[in-house]
Amino acid sequence: MDIEVKRQHIIEAALRRFSHFGINKTTMNEIAEDISVSKANLYYYFPDKSALVVDVIKHLIEEGMEAYHRIIQESNQILDTLTGFLRIKKNFFEKHYLLHVTMGYADSNLNIDALNALGRYAETKELTAISLAFTKAIGTGELVTFDVEKTSQIYFTVLKGISMVSIAKVTNKDIPEISIFSEIFEKQKIASAIFVNGLRHKMITN
């Protein structure tokens, strides 16, 4: 089996385990057993659990970005596009709820620096998608020309702030209830409508 195909096979098996049992409660032995390979063979592809977790999360980020770009292509209204982005994130966190690492509750054995780097990578990807959505809306005449990069940064910061405030009441020893993602989604959806209406008001007053 091709090396990359084998790596992908391992990543998918690990994702199934992590999503069902959580990262902390999943061992490398269990993943190896699931795909009928030796532990030594598993470590040939991933030197430790942390490296595997990082690749699993990167795989999920790439899947999410593919979904974002499909929405950009299919949607003709900026608010529909942004709401679509929010729904993808909500569905992601609900589907992979036991991946507590995505909320900052990582297994203490994991490489925190690597996970933080992945967080920055995900933010960069999301900002790029937001910028593309705004650029498309300007191109179709739905919105007037504005500083896309700066506006995307501000919009992203608003969304991030809503998420952080919503989860701030949770201590490091607790995991937010899954219902919090619906709460965050509704607040971010309202904020997105206000944001887009503000951009449209700028269009009217210019």
| 8 A C-beta contact, residue 78 and residue 143 | yes
Instruction: Look at the block and give the residue holding tokens 């971010």.
Output: 188
Phi, psi of 34 (to 5 degrees): -60, -35
| 8 A C-beta contact, residue 74 and residue 135 | no
Is the model's pTM score more than 0.95? no
> Which is nearest to 46 in space by CA: 14, 70, 78, 21?
14
Q: Length of the chain, please? A: 206
Q: Which residues of the chain have pLDDT under 70?
A: 1, 100-110, 170-175, 202-206
| 8 A C-beta contact, residue 158 and residue 195 | yes
Span 81-137, pLDDT tens digits: 999 999 999 999 888 887 764 444 455 556 778 778 888 999 999 999 999 999 999
Q: Cα–Cα distance between 59 and 156 in angstroms, integer?
A: 22
8 is written with which tokens? Answer: 């992908």
Class of domain 61-205: mainly alpha
